[in-house]
Structures are given as C-alpha cells and as structure tokens.
C-alpha cells in the first residue's frame, strides 16, 4: 500500500487473535501497522507482533527493493509493536534504532540489551534527516505508556501517531471507524485524558494532512472529524445526548424495571436510549457507551451486602478511566435490606462533576405501585433538559509540575512536600516545574 510517493505501508493483519491485550474482544481482528520511508536514507516506523515477524520482514524486504534500512524508529514499546525489534536488528546488522531514552530501558527489560552500540536517543524536538524528509520527534508520555513519542514528517505532512487515532479491527475489513476507535480509546487510553489533551495541543501547531497510526486505517480525509472526537473523548465530554441503562438481574425483576424505564424514556421523547445487560454484553462496549452518552442509569441488586459482581466491575472500569461530567440515576433492588444505591454512590464519590438524579428507585423484590411511580418520576427527571447554568471557570493555576517519568501534570504553584505521582507512584524529585 502506497501512502505517499516515499512512504509505504508494510504492516500486517491479525485474524488469529481473539482477545486484544487479553481482554478486548476483536471479532474483526487487529492491524499492526508499520511504515517505510524511502529517501537518501530509509527509516522503518515501528515493528509488529512477533507472531507476524516473518511476514513483516517479507513486506519490508519487498518494499526496500534491494536496499538495506538505515533506521528503525521505535515510538512505542508495547509488544504488539516492539516484539520484532530483536529479529529486525539481527536481520539488518547495520541498522540503527532511534527511540526515546525510556524506550531503550524497556528494550533492556524485554531483550536483555539496550542496543548501546547501535542506537540513537531522541527527545522532544529532536530532528532526524533522511534527506528531503526531516522527521521531528514529539514526546507523548502516557499516551498511553511513558516512553511514547510520535513523529512528524514535514515534507509529506504526515503524523505517525503511535497508538493515537488507532482502532480495533484488521485493515481488510470494512467497518465504521468511530465505534471501534471509541471502544479502543476509552478502554486503552481513556485514563490519560490530560496527556492526550497535551498531545493535541502540540499537534495543533503542525500542518497535518495524513495520520498514520499503529492500529487501524491511515486517515487522509476530513481530519478535523477525528481530531474533534479525540478532543471530546480526552476532555471527558459527552459525545451524544442519550441515556445508557446498564443493569444486572438475578431472576428478572430488576431487568423488568430497566426495560420499563427504557420504555418510559422513549415515551418521554428521548431519542437515544441504550439498554445493556452487563452480565451478557461486551463489558468494553458498555464502558464505551457510558462515555459516549450524557446520562447513565445504574440498575442492580443488593448482593452479599454489596452489589452484583458485574455492576461492581462496570463501575470500577468507569472510575479507573476518570468517568465525569455526566448525569447519573440509580435503581436498586433488595428483598430485605436494599443498599445497592448506597454502595454505587460510594464507588462514584471521587468522580468529578457527576449530577445524581432523584429519585433513587428502590424495588423490594418486584415492582409494585410505589416503585413504578418512582420509575415514572425518574424517567421525567432524566428526560428533562438541563437548565443548569454553566459552572464558572476556575482561575488558572499559578504553576504546573510535570512528572519526568509518566508526564502527569500537577497544577499549583508549590508541589506538596512528599507528593507522590498518582500514575507512576514516583516521588516529588521526579517533578519539574514548567517555565
């Protein structure tokens, strides 16, 4: 596949995989993207999963047309992109690896060598000249590993975006980009919204016409569409007005309440009402929908003095990914001591900018006239448009402290004594104040 006159696609499709990263269902497989830039010197952009190393090397050899590669640029050290580094270096003994200092530390861990005699360490703003192509490296820590960088080719106006703008699915399958890109982003990158926002600000200063990610299709048209979605996702804003009703049910009574609420919401004129059984649906898709829509209703039973396991897992996935800026309603069921709403509210206590809708619907075993009336009131409250005044913007902090390990930003003039990074758990000595 030719991307520009000098850039070719040499990646591979994987239809053998059932679970990506051991947890995400990928019915249409995965693509491990790699690219070759041909100039006075040649550069390979990332490698592929080791299971496809020979196919990748064959693609590379064909594209090289008898030449030898000068550089292997490693943007990201996750094994689906890095596990063929060693075989590449053995195959091409004159090649040099170009990567960040943190990436070479990871190579030592993975391969027992950091390739000290055959490496070039680059950092933010470093430039590698291949001839007419000048590659500029842009640090992207925690998008979504600490060593990540992206690469900009000024000649062809191409951004090699590492895992950014990637999606589930092999390239030989036609499917909607947004659905699987959203599920990929929320599941894998979603925790690091602040870091993605920082990268988007850097990208805004580049003249980009093509985005070449490490998963999914090359993006060449209407780039504003993709950039806008990434801005929405990484700032934790709802993508659409709508209601996700996420439920678990043991004997069907709680399910009946969830289904009745969906009917009532549709009767109130709600255009997008999504109902999902957390025990039977793809958990990653349910999490994706929670971030997609503006409102969420959690419906579950009291179970062992707690909540049903699938609901507990679901809420954990939300809070782990910084779920915020949403409206939340609750329905609980309990035959003798209903407490599911209290437990769910406690799990969400640290989530920012959640609006909890009243009433909380309490079912005692099965719906009756009282709990059905509560459902009516909840449907009316959820269907009502928000008439809240927008919150006043907080004054800008006096300073920003950046972790040199993972890129986490602490906002404040003074870093608290004994501060520990909430992402990588490193101490205050790893933070530097921005000028």
DSSP letter string, 308-356: -HHHHHHHHHHHHTT--SEEEEEEEE-SS---HHHHHHHHTTTSTTEEE
Q: Which residue has the tokens 């850039």?
A: 7
CATH number at residue 292: 3.40.50.360
The SS3 of residue 301 is strand
In this structure, the answer to whether residues 149 and 251 fall within a common structural domain is no
**Residue 184 lies inside a defined structural domain of this protein:** yes
406 and 386 Cβ atoms separated by less than 8 Å = no
**Which of 210, 234, 258 is where one domain is finished?**
234
**Which of 175, 202, 234 is where one domain is finished?**
234
Classify strands 293-303 and 326-333 as parallel, antiparallel or unpaired: parallel
Q: Indicate the number of domains in the chain.
A: 3
**Residue 391 lies inside a defined structural domain of this protein:** no
Average pLDDT for runs of 10 along the chain of length 435: 95 96 95 98 97 97 95 96 96 97 96 95 96 96 93 97 96 94 95 93 94 97 94 95 96 96 92 95 96 97 93 97 96 93 95 95 94 94 63 52 72 80 74 77
In this structure, the answer to whether residues 102 and 250 fall within a common structural domain is no
Angle at 50 between CA 45 and CA 56, to 5 degrees: 50
The pLDDT of residue 394 is 41
CA–CA separation, 278 and 256 (whole Å):
14
**Residue 388 lies inside a defined structural domain of this protein:** no
Closest CA to 241 of 345, 352, 134, 385: 385
Q: Which residue has the tokens 């000024």?
A: 154
**Residue 337 lies inside a defined structural domain of this protein:** yes
In this structure, the answer to whether residues 140 and 44 fall within a common structural domain is yes
In this structure, the answer to whether residues 171 and 310 fall within a common structural domain is no
- 186 CB contacts (<8 Å, ≥6 apart)? 233, 284, 287, 288, 291, 321
What's the domain range around 326? 240-383
In this structure, the answer to whether residues 227 and 279 fall within a common structural domain is no
**Residue 2 lies inside a defined structural domain of this protein:** no
**Residue 392 lies inside a defined structural domain of this protein:** no
**Residue 38 lies inside a defined structural domain of this protein:** yes
In this structure, the answer to whether residues 63 and 102 fall within a common structural domain is yes
**Tell me, what DSSP letter sits at residue 429?**
G
In this structure, the answer to whether residues 84 and 118 fall within a common structural domain is yes
In this structure, the answer to whether residues 168 and 264 fall within a common structural domain is no
DSSP letter string, 161-226: -TTTT--SS-TTS---HHHHHHHHIIIIIGGGHHHHHHHHHHHTTS--SEEE-SSSPPB-S-HHHH
The pLDDT of residue 8 is 97
The pLDDT of residue 381 is 94
CA–CA separation, 246 and 292 (whole Å):
13
The pLDDT of residue 392 is 42
**Which of 234, 250, 272 is where one domain is finished?**
234
In this structure, the answer to whether residues 101 and 217 fall within a common structural domain is yes
The 3-class secondary structure across 112-150, one letter per residue, is CCCCHHHEEECCCCCEEECCCCEEEEEECCCCCCCCCEE
CATH number at residue 118: 3.60.15.10
In this structure, the answer to whether residues 143 and 94 fall within a common structural domain is yes
In this structure, the answer to whether residues 227 and 254 fall within a common structural domain is no
In this structure, the answer to whether residues 419 and 336 fall within a common structural domain is no
- Is pTM, for the whole model, over 0.85? yes
């Amino acid at each position: 596949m030719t991307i520009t006159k000098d850039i070719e696609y040499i990646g591979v499709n994987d239809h053998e995989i059932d679970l990506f990263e051991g947890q995400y269902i990928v019915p249409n497989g995965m693509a491990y993207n790699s690219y070759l830039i041909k100039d006075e010197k040649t550069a390979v952009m990332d490698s592929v999963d080791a299971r496809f190393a020979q196919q990748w090397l064959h693609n590379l050899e064909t594209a090289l047309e008898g030449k030898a590669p000068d550089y292997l640029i490693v943007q990201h050290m996750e094994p689906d992109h890095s596990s063929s580094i060693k075989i590449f270096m053995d195959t091409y003994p004159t090649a040099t690896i170009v990567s960040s200092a943190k990436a070479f530390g990871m190579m030592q861990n993975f391969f027992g060598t950091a390739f000290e005699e055959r490496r070039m360490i680059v950092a933010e703003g470093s430039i590698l000249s291949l001839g007419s192509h000048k590659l500029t490296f842009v640090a992207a820590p925690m998008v979504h590993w600490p060593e990540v960088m992206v690469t900009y080719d000024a000649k062809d106006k191409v951004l090699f975006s590492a895992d950014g703008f990637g999606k589930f699915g092999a390239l030989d399958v036609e499917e909607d980009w947004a659905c699987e890109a959203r599920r990929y982003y929320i599941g894998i990158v979603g925790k690091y919204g602040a870091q993605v926002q920082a990268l988007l600000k850097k990208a805004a200063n580049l003249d980009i016409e093509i985005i070449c990610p490490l998963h999914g299709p090359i993006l060449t048209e209407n780039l504003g569409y993709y950039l806008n979605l990434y801005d929405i996702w990484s700032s934790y804003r709802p993508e659409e007005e709508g209601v996700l009703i996420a439920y678990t049910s043991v004997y069907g009574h709680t399910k009946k309440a969830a289904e009745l609420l969906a009917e009532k919401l549709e009767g109130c004129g709600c255009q997008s009402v999504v109902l999902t059984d957390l025990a039977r649906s793809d958990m990653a898709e349910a999490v994706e929908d929670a971030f997609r829509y503006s409102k969420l209703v959690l419906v579950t039973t009291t179970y062992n003095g707690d909540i049903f396991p699938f609901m507990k897992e679901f809420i954990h996935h939300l809070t782990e990914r910084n779920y915020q800026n949403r409206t939340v309603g609750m329905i609980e069921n309990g035959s003798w001591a209903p407490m599911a709403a209290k437990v769910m509210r406690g799990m969400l206590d640290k989530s920012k900018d959640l609006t909890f809708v009243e009433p909380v619907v309490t079912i005692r075993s099965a719906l009756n006239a009282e709990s059905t009336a509560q459902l009516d009131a909840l449907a009316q409250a959820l269907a009502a448009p928000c008439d809240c005044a927008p919150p006043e913007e907080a004054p800008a902090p006096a300073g920003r402290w950046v972790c040199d390990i993972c890129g986490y930003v602490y906002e404040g003039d003074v870093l608290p004594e004994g501060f520990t990074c909430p992402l990588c758990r490193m101490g205050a000595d790893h933070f530097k104040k921005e000028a």
